[in-house]
A and B are shown apart, each in its own frame.
Chain A
Amino acid sequence: MNLVENDSALDQFTSLEHKLASVLRPVRPDPAYVQRLGHSLGRAPSAILERNSITEPILMIVLGLAAGVTAAYLIHKLAKQ
């Protein structure tokens, strides 16, 4: 990897780059984990159901509004009688 591939202005950061290169070394996952995940992916159904986090709150709001409007309408109608 060419650490300073950008321009000469980056020369001043050579020391910091070298520190980064020595600290940020590749980490490998546990081979047992890799095998387990690969195995479970191989058995997973082709369609994965993911929970939609937006639909549920919107549905709750719509139902709440509908209930409110119905209640207001009924109260209004009863008050007229």
Chain B
Amino acid sequence: MKKTVPMAEPEALNEDNAVVRASQGDSDAFSLLYELNVNRIYNYVFYRVGSEADAEDITSRVFYRAFGHISNYVEKGVPFSAWLYRIAHNLIANWHRDNFRRNEVSLDERVDLPQRIEPPERSLEQTQEIEMLLRGIRALSDDRQQLLVLKFTEHLSNAEIAMIMKRSEGAIKSLYHRSLVALKEEMVKIGFEEVVDEGSQVGK
């Protein structure tokens, strides 16, 4: 007599199993990962390159590269987004290198303001303040910019940033402190001291 074994129901696609299924060639799973991560990757890239067109171009490359290499992805207990951030970080580094070769104009001279989030009635003074601060951030080293963008736009904790940047949590704390010191110095250098002095206790 033949025994009938009930077929196991295929597990519904969700955030937890999407990475495994995408690495096995499931395009729906990759689409889900894309939808979950596209905004944050774009956001990160935008603040690192300062232009919407370049941010769109690099974000596209991030996802095409991820799509091409997802079969090699090994789950190591690190969020999938950390892998995407690292791809983005490498592509941004290439972009800066290529742009530096192509243009003699310094990168920190071109800063698109994030139009989609700002109220249109922004005052001239506010606009200038934002521009100066973005310029100051862009003058920082690569890892300091990365840390500030992840912390302030994505609101990631030190532990999460440590996973993305492959450093210890202590190293991130220390880097954060050094980044603020460097940013303050940069703001003073470009003549925008009120950003750091207003209400601040620096030097007291």
Contact = CB atoms under 8 A, between A and B. Distances in A.
Interface string B180-204: 1001100100000001111111101
A28 B180 contact: no
A40 to B, nearest CB: 8
B60 interface: yes
B126 to A, nearest CB: 9
Contact of A42 (B31, B64, B114, B133): B31
Contacts of A44: 64, 67
Given A21-B152, A29-B42, A29-B59, A41 B177 contact: no
A37 B195 CA distance: 38
A20 interface: yes
A35 to B, nearest CB: 10
Contacts of A56: none
A10 B180 contact: yes
B25 A27 contact: no
Nearest to A50: B68
Contact of B47 (A7, A10, A24, A46): A24
Interface residues of A, number: 35
Given A16-B183, A33-B56, A44-B64, A6 B199 contact: no
Nearest to A7: B173
B35 A13 contact: no
B152 A16 contact: no
A79 interface: no
A77 interface: no
Interface string B18-60: 0000000101001100110011001100110000100110011
Given A46-B25, A48-B65, 18 more contacts: A14-B201, A15-B196, A15-B198, A16-B184, A16-B187, A19-B129, A19-B133, A20-B133, A21-B152, A24-B137, A25-B153, A26-B154, A27-B153, A29-B43, A34-B39, A38-B35, A44-B64, A46-B27
* Nearest 9 pairs of A and B residues by beta carbon: A48-B68, A24-B152, A15-B200, A29-B42, A1-B155, A27-B114, A13-B180, A15-B199, A6-B173
20 contacts: A1-B152, A5-B158, A12-B202, A13-B202, A14-B201, A15-B199, A15-B200, A16-B180, A20-B148, A24-B47, A25-B117, A25-B153, A28-B42, A28-B117, A29-B42, A33-B56, A37-B59, A42-B27, A46-B67, A50-B65
Interface of A: 1, 5-7, 9-17, 19-21, 23-30, 33-34, 37-38, 41-42, 44, 46-48, 50
